[in-house]
Structure 1
């Protein structure tokens, strides 16, 4: 009987090795790749949130610029912001929605506050404040899009960032060329 008992114990132990191996593999997979995916998706999710909020801020301020700008250059640039950032925002929303990533529904509070302060200005002071904000915003968003285009993990979001960067860089050059206060 001891031989039979030894055989049964050996058989039971051998049967457990594959189960233990699978359990270990699942645990290892849960610890490593899923953690990377979580942080990767968190970075991409943050990009969507920040990029969509920045786009909404540009559209909002662009409308103000198109209405209140003293110079034709500011008015034209303001309308360009509305058109280009609405188009980019719609594209980003479409990509994000397919991945169940929420987009911002409003600009960041700091951008709302800045737009409100700029809107209270008139004439050359408005144009100068508008220019300063547009230059700063585009410098910031270019860094965000550059980061996503080089380090993003989601292929669609990375491609969107890469495709959108030249337009953002052009916007920055246009903003820098706007009239300054005299």
Structure 2
């Protein structure tokens, strides 16, 4: 009787074990058919582009994705914008270059017109006479500075050097613009005057310098300038003549008021 009870117990245990084993097999089979519940990485699952899912985000930024989005937006992607910007910059550069060249060309044309404008024979003579007078006064003033001992004479001589050097520079600038070749040294008359003054000294020199270079030369030059103001045709030459007239008139007045131009004195010898 007791053996029958033990046998029944063993049979019960075996039955339970068999049930547990069946449950385990079923569970394993279920897990195998549904791998997403096993915790296995989704990286093993291929996506539509043939790449693993952890690379799936790349599909939106790869070349295929960019081309698709470009088609959807009507070709206004970054490449389209770059082409548009490049074209716009090229157009703007072309416009700027054309404007710059136009302005430069206009300036060169104006400069060429000014340089190419030729003086008439009469105007050219006026310009050369002005240059000759300026050179003579500058050379005479330098000689007086080196030989005279009179303060008034030396001051007058310095004014001649300063004023006529400035005027000669204006004459040279206009001559260059008009293609005129100016004399490079005083004429024979002024060379002879300089040679005479070179041999003098003291009071004799002061009187001769103030009489010849100070008074007589400025009278002659002023008379020529008055006539030139009426005859000059070139507007710039006419303006230069008008600018020079009052300067020469002031020199003449100063020279005439100098005692040395009237009579000799012993002061400053």
1:46 aligned onto 2:138: no
Aligned pair count?
144
How does the TM-score come out when normalised to structure 2?
0.52
Q: Higher helix fraction: Structure 1 or Structure 2?
A: 1
Q: Any unmatched runs of 5+ in structure 1?
A: 1-37
Runs of 4+ in 1 over 6 A off after TM superposition: none
Residue in 1 aligned with 2:165?
A: 86
CA contact (8 A) 1:53 1:104 kept: yes
Higher relative contact order (CA 8 A, sep 6+): 1
Distance 2:239 2:194 in 1: 30
TM-score (norm 1): 0.75
1:92-103 aligned at under 5 Å gives the runs 92-103=171-182
How far does residue 65 in structure 1 lie from its aligned partner after superposition? 1.1
Q: Which residue of 1 aligns with 2:100?
A: none
Partners of 2:255 and 2:187 in 1: CA distance: 21
- Match of 2:244? 164
Inter-partner Cα distance in structure 1 for 2:243 and 2:133: 17
3-state SS of 1:94 partner: helix
Structure-2 separation of matches of 1:87 and 1:131? 21
Secondary structure of 1:106's match?
coil
**Residues 65-144 of structure 1: pairs in structure 2 closer than 5 A:** 65-133=144-212, 134-144=214-224
C-alpha distance in 1 between matches for 2:228 and 2:166: 19
Bigger Rg, which one: 2
For 1:26-75, what per-residue CA distance to the aligned partner results, in whole angstroms no more than 9, with x for missing partners? xxxxxxxxxxxx9x711111111111011101000000112212311110
